[in-house]
Chains A and B, each alone.
Chain A
Amino acid sequence: MKRSPSQALKNPKLILGEISAIGLVCAVGAVLPFALESAHFSGEHPELVRWVRLLGLDNVFASAWFLAPLVLACASLSLVVVQQFRRAAQSWPRRLKPEQFQKALFRAEFDRPAQTHASGGKASSGGKAPSAVEGQTTSVIHSKGRVFLLGSPLFHTGLLVVVLAGVVRALFGADAVMDLVEGETISPGPAVWNGQFPGYLARPISLNRPVVLTKVNSVLYPDGGLKKLSAAFATEGSGEPGNIEVAVNKGFRVDGTRLHVGSDFGAAPTLGWPDGQGGTAWEAVLTTDFGKGAWQGVSSEHNGLRAHVRTLVDAEGKASSETDVRIMKGSVLACAATLVVGQSATLPDGSKVTLGRVPFWIRLKASRDPSTALIYAGFALIMTGATIMFTVVRFDTCVLVTPCGDHERVVVALHAPRFGPLCRERFARLVREQGGVG
C-alpha cells in the first residue's frame, strides 16, 4: 500500500530514526572536532582527516548531516502536533461507555448486600456507590487526569517553538565583541567592533550613539581568582539614562542591543613608542591573569621590538604603581625596566618607551536576539508538557451495580492508557469502597 508523504512523516519508525540520527550527529559533533585538533590523531590518520573535512564532519552542526534530519524531524513534529491536538480535542469531551471497560486492565466482579436507599438513573461522577433500582443496572463512570491529553501536544509544540527560535536567532540574531580600555568610546557604526557575527539575514551590531567605558570595577579573591566584575558606561546623547552598569550575569540593553561582560579583563599599561617622526604612538597592552595577582601581556611590534609587560593587581582590583617592562627584539632582551607612570625606558638606539597611564580593559560582548520571547515560550511549553506527561496519571473507573434480590452484583473496572500497573492500589481502594475485597 502506498503511503502519502504526510503519513510517511508520521510513521513512528521514521520518527525514531530522526531522533536517533540527530543524537548520533550530535555525538559526532561533540567528539570529532577534538579528535581533529589532536596532533597525534592528525599525524597518524591524515587520509581520514581529509575525508572528515571533505564530508563536512568537522563542522557537523552546519552541515547537511545535521540539518537534514532536523528539517525532517520538524516536518514530522508539525504533523504529529496537529494530529495530537486534534485527538486531544476529540477525546476531551468523550465519555467512556460501560462496554468499553470490558477489557480494562483491572476488573473485579463481586456481590454485596443490597443498599437500603435507592434512586434511579445514571450517576455521572463521584466515588460514592451508585444506587440501584431493582432490575436496572446503574453505572458510575469517573475520569481523572484528562489534562494528560494535553501533555504530549504541548511538549512537542514547545520543541517546535524552540527550533523556530533557533532559526530566527540564526537568521536575524547578531553578536559582536570588542576589547575596550577605560576611557575609550564605542562610536556608532559597526566598524568599531573587533568581531562581528551577524546572522544570515541580520545587519551587524551597531549602537546609535557613543558609549564611553568610564570604569572597570573588579574584586579578586585572596588567591587572585575573580570574585566580581562590572563595567560602568556613560551614554552620550539624549533619551536613555546617562550612566549604565554592565556586570557578569547582568547585561544592559542599549538601543535594542544587549551588552554584557564575561570574565575577560585586566590591566592595560599604556606604552608610548617613538613613531619615527619625532612623535609618540600610544598603545595599551592588554594583560591577562597569570595567577597570584600577576598580569602579563605583550605589545604589538614596533620597529622589530615588542614589549612584555607585567603588573600586579590587588584584591580591590587596583593596579600596582609599578610596571615591569621588558623590550624584546625577537628572543633577545633589548632592555628591561620597572616603570611608574610617566617614566621611560631607553631603547638600544637611544629612543625611549614611556609608560603612560595604567587603565583596565574589559571584553565587551553585544548581542541582538529577536528570538528571546520565542525561546522562553518554547521552554515554558516543553516544561508544562513534560510535567503533565510524567506527573499526571490518566485513568477511568467504572462501577456497575445490578440488583439481584437481596444482594447486588457489582462490577468495578479501571482503565489506564499509560502506567496502568501503577493504578493497582487505587483500584484495590475503589473495590473496597464498593464493598468488595481489595
Chain B
Amino acid sequence: MNNFAIEASFHWAAVALYILGTALFAYALFFARPGAARWALWLTGAGLLPHSAALALRYFSVGHGPYMLKYEVLSSNTWIAVVMLLLFVWRRRDWNAVALLVMPVCILMMGLGLFSNPEARDLPPTLRSIWLVFHVFFNKLAVGAFLLSAGASVALLLRERGVKGRFLEKLPDAETVESYMIRFIGFGFLFWSTTIGAGAIWANQSWGRYWGWDPIETWSLVTWLCYGALLHARFFFRLRGKAAAWGVLACFLVSILTVLIFPFVFPSLHSAYFQ
C-alpha cells in the first residue's frame, strides 16, 4: 500500500469514527442516555487519532503543512474544529447538543475535502514564510470558533422556536448559551484579526505592501466588519435572543463564503491554495 492509500484509509477511518460518535451523541441526547454521551465523546476523540495520522503522513509526503488544495485545507479545518469542539464539550458536558449540531458540518466539510483532487502540489517560494503558518493556523482557529458560535446560535433558535427535545433540555439556560455564543465570536474575532494581521505582515514581506484590496483580502475585512458590527450591536443595543442568533448565523455565512466559496469565484492571490 502506498503512502496515499494509507493516508486515505486513515482519513476514512476518521470519518467513520466521527459518524459513529455523532450517532452516539444523537442517541445519548434523544434517548436521555448520559452514559452514551461519554462514549460519543471518546469515539469522536478516537477519530482524531487516524485523522492526525493522515495529516502527519500528508505533511511528510508533501513536505509542507495543509495549506494547498481543498483536500488539505478542509481536512485540517475539520481537525481543528473537532479539537475545539471536544475540548469545549469535555469541559462542559451539558453542551453535548452543540456537538450534535457541529459534527455533521465537520463531517460534511471532511467529505467535501476527501472527494476533491488530492494530488500533492509543491509549495511556491512565496508561501515559505513563518507568517503563512500564523495566517493559516489562526484562520482555522477562527473558523472553528465561528462554527461553535453558529452551533450555539442554532441551539438557541430551536429553543426560542419552542422546539421540544431532550437534547435541548440538557443545555444551560438561554442567557448562558447566548453568553457562550458571543464569547466564541469574541475568540473567533481575535483569531480572525490575527489572521488578517499575519497576512498583512506576510504580504509586506512578499510584495512590499500590507494591503492590496485583493478580493479575498477585502472579503476577510468584510467578515471582520460584520462580526465587529454584531459585537457592537450586542454591547450597545443589548442584541439578544433570536435577533442575536440570526446575526451570528448571517456572519457565519459571510465567513464561510470568504473562506470556502469566494476563492473559487474571484481571481485572487488566495485562489491558488484552494484549487
Partners in one complex: yes
- Cα(A34)–Cα(B219), bound, Å: 14
Given contacts A23-B229, A263-B124, A422-B179, contact A367 B209 (CB under 8 A): yes
Query: A141-160: which residues lie under 8 A (CB-CB) from chain B?
Result: none
Nearest-Cβ distance from residue A222 to partner chain B, whole angstroms: 9
Interface: A248 (CB within 8 A): yes
Interface: B31 (CB within 8 A): no
Most chain B CB atoms below 10 A, which of A12, A227, A390: A390
Q: Which residues of chain A are near B209, meaning CB under 8 Å?
A: 169, 175, 367, 369
Q: Which residues of chain A are near B180, meaning CB under 8 Å?
A: 422
- Cα(A20)–Cα(B124), bound, Å: 37
Contact (Cβ within 8 A) A34 B215: yes
Interface: B166 (CB within 8 A): no
Q: Which residues of chain B are near A20, meaning CB under 8 Å?
A: 225, 229
- Number of chain B residues close to chain A: CB under 8 A: 51
Q: Which residue of B lies closest to A247 (CB)?
A: B125
Interface: A229 (CB within 8 A): yes
Give the interface residue-count category, chain A: 35 or more
Interface: A26 (CB within 8 A): yes
Contact (Cβ within 8 A) B215 A30: yes
- Cα(A372)–Cα(B221), bound, Å: 20
Q: Which residues of chain A are near B186, meaning CB under 8 Å?
A: 389-390
Most chain B CB atoms below 10 A, which of A15, A27, A175: A27
Q: Which residues of chain A are near B266, meaning CB under 8 Å?
A: 30-31, 34
Contact (Cβ within 8 A) A367 B222: no
The stretch of A128-136, A303-311, A333-341, A379-387 in contact with B is A379-387
Q: Which residues of chain A are near B189, meaning CB under 8 Å?
A: 386, 390
The 6 closest A-B pairs by CB, nearest first: A390-B186, A367-B208, A23-B225, A12-B236, A30-B218, A248-B125
Residues of A within 8 A of B (CB): 12, 15-16, 19-20, 22-23, 26-27, 29-31, 34, 61, 166, 169, 175, 221, 223, 225-229, 247-251, 258, 260, 262-263, 365-367, 369, 372, 375-376, 379, 382-383, 386-387, 389-391, 418-422, 424
Residues of B within 8 A of A (CB): 121-122, 124-126, 128-129, 172-173, 175-176, 178-180, 182-183, 186-187, 189-190, 193-194, 197, 200-202, 204-211, 213, 215, 218-219, 221-222, 225-226, 228-229, 232-233, 235-237, 266-267
A-B contact pairs, 18 of them (CB 8 A): A15-B232, A16-B237, A23-B221, A23-B226, A26-B225, A175-B208, A225-B122, A248-B206, A249-B206, A250-B205, A260-B205, A262-B126, A383-B190, A383-B193, A390-B183, A419-B183, A421-B176, A422-B176
